[in-house]
Amino acid sequence: MSFKLIKKDKDTKARCGVLSTAHGDTKTPVFMPVGTQATVKTLSNEDLLRSGTDIILCNAYHLYLRPGEEIIKKAGGLHQFCGWKGPILTDSGGFQIFSLATLMKASDKGVGFSSHLDGSKHFLTPEDVIRLQRSFGSDIMMPLDECVHYPCSKERAADSLRLTTKWAQRSKKEHGLNARQLLFGIIQGSTYPDLRREGIEKLLEIGFDGYAIGGVSVGEPADLIYEIVDNATEYMPEDKPRYLMGVGTPADIFEAVSMGIDMFDCVIPTRNGRSGTAFTEEGKLVLRNREFSSDFEPIDRECKCYTCANHYRAYIRHLFNTDEILGLKLVSLHNIHFYAKLMDNIRTAIKTGRFKTFKEKFLKNYNS
Amino acid sequence: MSFKLIKKDKDTKARCGVLSTAHGDTKTPVFMPVGTQATVKTLSNEDLLRSGTDIILCNAYHLYLRPGEEIIKKAGGLHQFCGWKGPILTDSGGFQIFSLATLMKASDKGVGFSSHLDGSKHFLTPEDVIRLQRSFGSDIMMPLDECVHYPCSKERAADSLRLTTKWAQRSKKEHGLNARQLLFGIIQGSTYPDLRREGIEKLLEIGFDGYAIGGVSVGEPADLIYEIVDNATEYMPEDKPRYLMGVGTPADIFEAVSMGIDMFDCVIPTRNGRSGTAFTEEGKLVLRNREFSSDFEPIDRECKCYTCANHYRAYIRHLFNTDEILGLKLVSLHNIHFYAKLMDNIRTAIKTGRFKTFKEKFLKNYNS
């Protein structure tokens, strides 16, 4: 059993659990900072640990291109390569191949594409992608999937779902009885509830260690994301972790947790951090703004992160104003800490039966 | 007494001492990392402390332009503004005005210039520069000086020295009896030994808390720098700290320490760090190079810095290859640690009478 459900909320579909991996346990609901290239941008592993992060996400597509499978294999795996000792989930890169790479051509056999870096031609089968993640030693692997854009016709979405399902079967077969590395299934089906349901049922027949909702946050309105998620969790098994890929804002996370989601990843805290936008319980602060140039308060008085314990908004504004790299790190660090603390508060609220109240209070104060 | 001489080397002019400031003591010879804009590029204050740094340098010219005197004053000074609790030396920015700013015009009264950032026009008197550093609360202030380029005619150098001397007198007068902030004098005189000597004698008449050799490393060959320094220290008082501005490489530091220099600052460790070049006792490693892509050794096995304790060369090479900011920080951190450790070893060698041997051994192994 890699997942243990600890508590179900009485008012919503929210739940608390523990996900066990070869590199340690993670309490859910959890937010996974994005370390696409085996580094969560601007942050050291020590920064991550001190901000309350216990699991990170890396991207198999990016790491396949650079540094490449051989180098990570020689290092003894991704953990050894980047020095992160906790769990690592690797995204297969399906989404990245279909959004970043060019000249992409998907067939039953696999996907051919040109690298977004140098145009070099590549072909990956679902089996290749599993083998790649086996070399990486990922704690949680994601299978190759096809990710359609929004809007997408039902016919196209159904065709794509069939392909993703076939690839899922082959991924599972290639994965075999490897118990050290978990393999999740990815639910596609665009914005069509019946296709999403069909997708889930097929994946359940194959059997995975967890189930992810993919192909959301690809341009559709927020309401539609919530509809897809709320519908999908109705059919997702209770005893397996549920992962909503690429989402989201604090408000998105509250909604999705209410709908029974356990795992999240998103570039929002780090990307915002690098542009000087900090998260607080009242909303976002654009620290580049002149209004902060003489503001001798920390980003958030209550926050316990290194940045808030040591620096004023005025100093951080100065760092951004003078293009100093330290600014990018200080705000990224604060934002990752904010997300980790938010998830911690969400878990506590679920455990103590106060989730609905906590959510309402947070969203009322939070100016998004 | 702000400076205490502890030990003089028997073989060279090298010496050990302790420099006391309002924000703590610093053992000399010391290397001061450069934090031009109130941040040592890429590093947090915690990184600096853990790398063995106890004093940093900031630049009054840059901080006058951004964030400006008012904001730093409102913060309660530079220490409060940037959160660094140890000693801070502020360079007056004379060198920067004469190298970065445009439309510069120096007169008896002061210096008029256009900002290198936006072309805005400014005029600073020697008194302004002292008042600025008073607002900053710098532990060590430097007076406004004129810095000539290399090569420079003797006539021009003599004229310039007269101006710098006048400005030094006025700076001292403006500084008054302020014992909390030390004021150093800057020796100019280009490459002319008699002018340098004249400069020193004039500064001694005025009386400063320390003496700096300025106007070196402005394009002249290394041999000539050493000649200037060796000549200058002959006339610099024994009981005051001696600071060689803007120098240098590890080899430069060994030479200058041999000549009796106590304090150094230079962008070399941080600038090299940001380009992926790491210092080791065997010389520099250009970590961007392909040869390091599968090198699973730390930068330096013996090094105790965070980078060497946690990461391989192959990972750092990957970070530079993928333009990841963490790489810039990891190598900068290592280099600052390398310089701090080097100074520590130099101090120990002087104290134990082994400096000459230590210098010879280091320079023999070091491939510069």
Q: If pLDDT is split at 50, 70 and 90, which confidence band does A184 have?
A: very high
Q: Which of B231, B266, B301 is the last residue of a domain?
A: B266
The answer to whether B148 and B160 have CB atoms below 8 angstroms apart is: yes
Note the pLDDT of residue B241. 98
Decide if B22 is inside a domain.
yes
B275 in contact with A, Cβ within 8 Å: no
Residues of chain B short of pLDDT 50, as ranges, are none
Note the pLDDT of residue A275. 98
Does the complex come out with an ipTM higher than 0.85?
A: yes
Q: If pLDDT is split at 50, 70 and 90, which confidence band does A13 have?
A: very high
Active-site residue among B47, B91, B139, B300?
A: B91
> Are B119 and B254 found together in one domain?
yes
Q: Where are the alpha helices (DSSP H) in chain B?
A: 45-50, 60-65, 69-75, 78-82, 94-99, 126-136, 154-175, 193-206, 222-235, 250-258, 268-274, 306-310, 313-321, 325-351, 355-365
**For range A190-206, the mean pLDDT:** 97
> Are A290 and A162 found together in one domain?
no
Which of residues 117 through 136 in chain A touch B, CB cutoff 8 A? none
- Mutation pick from B322, B331, B334 vs chain A, by most beta carbons of A within 10 Å, is B322
> Are B181 and B302 found together in one domain?
no
Decide if B27 is inside a domain.
yes
3-state secondary structure of A171: helix
**For range A134-138, the mean pLDDT:** 98
**CA B87/CA A163 separation, integer angstroms:** 64
Cross-chain residue pair B71–A314, CB shorter than 8 Å: yes
Please say if A265 is a catalytic residue: yes
Cross-chain residue pair A325–B42, CB shorter than 8 Å: yes
- Give me the total of CB pairs closer than 8 Å, taking one residue from chain A and one from chain B: 112
Decide if A318 is inside a domain.
yes
Decide if B363 is inside a domain.
no
How many domains does chain A fold into? 2
**For range A132-149, the mean pLDDT:** 96
> Are B139 and B185 found together in one domain?
yes
For A72, which residue in chain B has the nearest alpha carbon? B294
Task: Find all residues with CB under 8 Å of A30, minimum gap 6, and list them.
Answer: A19, A54, A55, A262, A263, A264, A343
The answer to whether A157 and A227 have CB atoms below 8 angstroms apart is: no
> Are B241 and B214 found together in one domain?
yes
Tokens of A307: 């940045």
Note the pLDDT of residue A186. 98
The answer to whether A220 and A246 have CB atoms below 8 angstroms apart is: no
Decide if B367 is inside a domain.
no
Measured between CA atoms, how close is B122 to chain A, in angstroms?
Answer: 19
Please determine, for residue A100, whether its predicted confidence score (pLDDT) is greater than 90.
Answer: no
Q: If pLDDT is split at 50, 70 and 90, which confidence band does A104 have?
A: confident
Decide if A357 is inside a domain.
no
Please tell me the pTM assigned to this model: 0.98
Q: Which of B223, B250, B266 is the last residue of a domain?
A: B266
Higher pLDDT, A186 or A105: A186
For A70, which residue in chain B has the nearest alpha carbon? B294
Decide if A354 is inside a domain.
no
B12 in contact with A, Cβ within 8 Å: no
Of A66, A67, A296, the CB nearest to B75: A296
The answer to whether B200 and B188 have CB atoms below 8 angstroms apart is: no
Q: If pLDDT is split at 50, 70 and 90, which confidence band does A11 have?
A: very high
B61 in contact with A, Cβ within 8 Å: no
> Are B51 and B198 found together in one domain?
yes
> Are A112 and A148 found together in one domain?
yes
Q: If pLDDT is split at 50, 70 and 90, which confidence band does A98 have?
A: confident
Decide if A40 is inside a domain.
yes
Please say if A239 is a catalytic residue: no
Note the pLDDT of residue A322. 98
Please determine, for residue A228, whether its predicted confidence score (pLDDT) is greater than 90.
Answer: yes
**CA A126/CA B17 separation, integer angstroms:** 66
Residues B15-38 pLDDT 10s: 999 999 999 999 999 999 999 999
The owner of tokens 């002319």 is B192
Please determine, for residue A204, whether its predicted confidence score (pLDDT) is greater than 80.
Answer: yes
Which residue range(s) make up the domain with A308? 279-331
3-state secondary structure of A1: coil
Identify which of B6, B5, B28, B14 has the alpha carbon closest to the alpha carbon of residue B360.
Answer: B14
Note the pLDDT of residue B104. 83
Cross-chain residue pair B37–A66, CB shorter than 8 Å: no
> Are A220 and A292 found together in one domain?
no
> Are B196 and B72 found together in one domain?
yes
Q: Which of B233, B266, B299 is the last residue of a domain?
A: B266
As a whole number, the mean pLDDT across chain B is: 96
Residues A302-313 pLDDT 10s: 999 999 999 999
Note the pLDDT of residue A94. 86
Pairing of strands A30-33, A263-266: parallel
CA B71 from chain center: how many Å?
A: 25
Measured between CA atoms, how close is A71 to chain B, in angstroms?
Answer: 6
Residues A275-320 pLDDT 10s: 999 999 999 999 999 999 999 999 999 999 999 999 999 999 999 9
Q: Residue A283, Cβ neighbours under 10 Å: how many?
A: 12
> Are A215 and A299 found together in one domain?
no
Judge residue B12's burial from the number of C-beta atoms within 10 Å of its C-beta, 0-12 exposed, 13-18 middle, 19 or more buried: middle
Note the pLDDT of residue A222. 87
Judge residue B31's burial from the number of C-beta atoms within 10 Å of its C-beta, 0-12 exposed, 13-18 middle, 19 or more buried: buried
**C-alpha angle B363/B365/B368, rounded to 5°?**
65
CATH number at residue A120: 3.20.20.105
> Are A257 and A319 found together in one domain?
no
- Stretch among A157-166, A215-224, B23-32, B224-233 having the lowest mean pLDDT: A215-224
Note the pLDDT of residue A320. 98
**CA B15/CA B13 separation, integer angstroms:** 7
Angle B325-351/B355-365 helices, nearest 10 degrees?
Answer: 150
> Are A167 and A313 found together in one domain?
no
